[in-house]
Amino acid sequence: MSFEDDTDWGYTVRAQDSYGETYLDRPILGRDRRIQGSVDYGTFDGPAIVVDPVKYPHQYELLYAKVLDRCMIAGVVHRGLVMDAVFDAVREQMRYSKQDVEALAKWVVAGNSSRGEKLELALFLEHGVGTCREMALATGVMLEMLADRGHIRGQVSIDRNQQWDPVGAKIGGHQWARYTNSRDEVFILDVAQGFLGALERSGSAQWNYARPSEREALMRPPASETPTRIVNPGQALGD
């Protein structure tokens, strides 16, 4: 699979060209932007997904409790367990099914098309289904909530891009969560594709997670033996 051209990280840019900084009274989510309170929407298929644990806390707090249960020892959150805890809690909570996500959206939204309508991420958490979008948002918001409550100190982002095969045929688009810790080490949490690990060791994954500015460095051998997890390889690409 080839690297995508820089311009094809432009889902969010094209959405902002069309709608401005907000869509349906919510800030449009982009790389390195705050997840909570935002709407995930752009020039890709699917509904606009709102992420608002303040207004709709129940499902978020249920998932957050599952995360804490996995990373807390003797009442203390252990930072070294956080990424695995978030990854596993989301993976347990949300079954991958593009068909069920589309059916759920159509059931909630009147008419035959869900595009352009707002749906809350809590809906997908409640029904336990998701694609790469919903899984990435759930992963990212859990990390952001942990940071807000003082358990971790890093930067959370929702990233997405498109890829092509060697002959130029588009494979599709994909979305995942990215966490940069306090030492500026970048980690990828991609529940849909079953990958959790350092960006520098993501060559074994099914997707290219590098931002355009990181491609050259990523081509070099990794400097450390950072643990990497790959679970359920072979998940459907291009959502």
What is the DSSP code string of 147-162? HHTTS---EEEEEEEE
Does 236 reside within a domain? no
Q: At 42, is the pLDDT very low, low, confident or very high (cuts 50, 70, 90)?
A: confident
**Residue 66 belongs to what domain range?**
6-230
Does 219 reside within a domain? yes
Does 137 reside within a domain? yes
pLDDT value, residue 168: 60
pLDDT > 60? residue 5: no
Helix (H) or strand (E) holding 31: none
Does 172 reside within a domain? yes
Does 1 reside within a domain? no
Which residues, other chains included, contact 176 with Cβ-Cβ below 8 Å and sequence gap of 6+? 132, 136, 139, 158, 159, 160, 188, 189, 190, 192, 193, 207, 209
Does 64 reside within a domain? yes
| Tokens at 153, concatenated | 């100190």
Domain count, the chain: 1
Does 191 reside within a domain? yes
93: left (phi over 0), alpha (psi -120 to 50) or beta: alpha
